[in-house]
Structure 1
Amino acid sequence: MKRNNQIPFLLLLVGLTATFTAQAQPPVGPRPGGPGPMALAGPRPPQTPGIVALTNLSGTIQQFTANDESILDGFTLNTGSKTVAVRFPAHLGQAIQAAGKPGSKLTVTGVSELTPEGVEVFRLVSLTNGQTVVNDAPPAAPAVLPTPKSISVKGKVIDYQLDPQGQATGLKMSDQTLVRVPPHIASQLLTIAPKGSTISVDGYVRPIGEGQVQLTKQTVVEASTITVNGQSYLVR
């Protein structure tokens, strides 16, 4: 009888030992030198771009280039071994033109980069012709804000202007006026007013910004209303 009474006590002792052993096990975590199970499931930390070394290019200006509103924002540079597309902010246009013209020799400091369309360009940081230095500084605030100038134009649609992604952002009229409209409006106009349609536009002239140069005279209009076949449409 005395021996049988020891059996429950031994079973209790074994159970308590197993419980303490399980609680003493260390939790599963990241292994040394590598991510743990949860680290693989979580988002990766954002990649921080490093500093970029500046490069100097010397050569001759071949020709000035402009954006789709004819505003000067670049030039092609012949280095003797290749032709490089140099780009700069439009507000530097007047200073760049004062420092050089097609045929002028100069040195450009900047970085090579790819545009969203995959085109390699050389982004200007500074430029010198040996006497004048032009730096990429922020544009100066205008002393007086320009007063919006209202305008009404009428003519035929000769083409639609597309951005690099292929979205329509405006339309060209027979008198070379460029009418700016939001992309969602332009996509509707493609159906309502296809090429060859006669339209009327009421809006405001977009002024040329401080320091900018327009290489080809062109009126750019921010449309407020557009009339097609007697039906007027609000542009927003």
Structure 2
Amino acid sequence: MKRKHQISFLLLVVGLAGTFTAQAQPPVAPGPGKPGPIALAGPRPPQTSSIVALTSLSGTVQQFTANDESVLNGFTLNTGSQTVAVEFPPHLGQAIQAAGKTGSKVTVSGVSDTTPEGTTMFRLVSLTNGNTVVTDTPPAAPAVLPTPTPISVKGKVVEYQVDRQGQVNGLRLSDQTLVRVPPHVAGQLVSIAPKESTISVEGYVHPVGEGQVRLSKQTVVEATQITVNGKSFLVR
């Protein structure tokens, strides 16, 4: 009886050794059409966010600049050694214009940035003029949304408006009215309403947002319908 127990014990040891040996073997590549071993997901490395160092520049405000709707969104700063293009969100226009008039000496804090077109811009984070400080903060949501104002205009097409990428996003009439259309419509508009053609436009006045300033007087129209040579086109 004792000898039988010893034999059973030896068989158990041999079996366990074979199991451990099999587990220690490297995985075998699966054959054609057979799934491979499943890789268990290990812990992911922590995601890190970049920190950008702020730069301060001091100089004289030379000239205010605007976007393609004539809305104030920047100025040129003469530091004494160079002229820097400073850009800020349009909703800061009123505050910036009041704090840093043309010819005033200011200090701006921000970061240098390169646009997709390769232009270097200084993105403003804050502007200081004496005791006055303007900081880039998100605009407050309006308590009441403005009611769209319908408008009808007619005039001759003098030029097409293009964005920084060179894409057509509207046209300008002889009275300087800027007609806005969605990007997917702009390509059709060039063939439908070429330069020097007279068109009629139905749409809504694009209002100036909270805190924004238009440097030149002009009407911006969001087009809903355009008529050329008696033929009307719905803009969607």
TM-score, normalised via structure 1 length: 0.81
Q: Who is 2:116 aligned against?
A: 116
Partner amino acid, structure 2, of 1:134: V
SS of aligned partner of 1:109: strand
| Greater Cα offset, 110-119 or 221-230 | 110-119
Displacement of 1:144: 2.8
CA distance in 1, matches of 2:131, 2:183: 44
Q: Who is 2:173 aligned against?
A: 173
Displacement of 1:76: 0.4
CA distance in 2, matches of 1:21, 1:93: 75
Moved over 3 A (4+): 18-24
Q: Who is 2:9 aligned against?
A: none
Partner amino acid, structure 2, of 1:109: S
Q: Who is 1:132 aligned against?
A: 132
Partner amino acid, structure 1, of 2:136: D
SS of aligned partner of 1:191: helix
Partner amino acid, structure 1, of 2:196: G
CA distance in 2, matches of 1:183, 1:145: 24
Q: Who is 1:229 aligned against?
A: 229
Structural mapping, 1:191-230, within 5 Å: 191-230=191-230
CA distance in 2, matches of 1:122, 1:192: 39
For structure 1, the 5+ residue unaligned runs are 1-17, 29-38, 40-44
Partner amino acid, structure 2, of 1:118: G
Q: Who is 2:159 aligned against?
A: 159
CA distance in 2, matches of 1:27, 1:83: 65
| Deviation digits for residues 29-86 of structure 1 (CA, Å, limit 9, x no counterpart) | xxxxxxxxxx9xxxxx9x9551001111000001000000000000000011111110
Partner amino acid, structure 2, of 1:80: G
Displacement of 1:89: 0.4
CA distance in 1, matches of 2:112, 2:91: 20
Partner amino acid, structure 2, of 1:226: I
Partner amino acid, structure 2, of 1:77: L
Displacement of 1:22: 6.9
Displacement of 1:27: 3.5
CA distance in 2, matches of 1:133, 1:95: 9
CA distance in 1, matches of 2:230, 2:120: 46
Displacement of 1:24: 3.8
Partner amino acid, structure 1, of 2:103: G
For structure 2, the 5+ residue unaligned runs are 1-17, 29-38, 40-44
Q: Who is 1:64 aligned against?
A: 64
CA distance in 2, matches of 1:145, 1:184: 26
Q: Who is 1:76 aligned against?
A: 76
Partner amino acid, structure 2, of 1:89: P
Q: Who is 1:183 aligned against?
A: 183
CA distance in 1, matches of 2:65, 2:104: 15
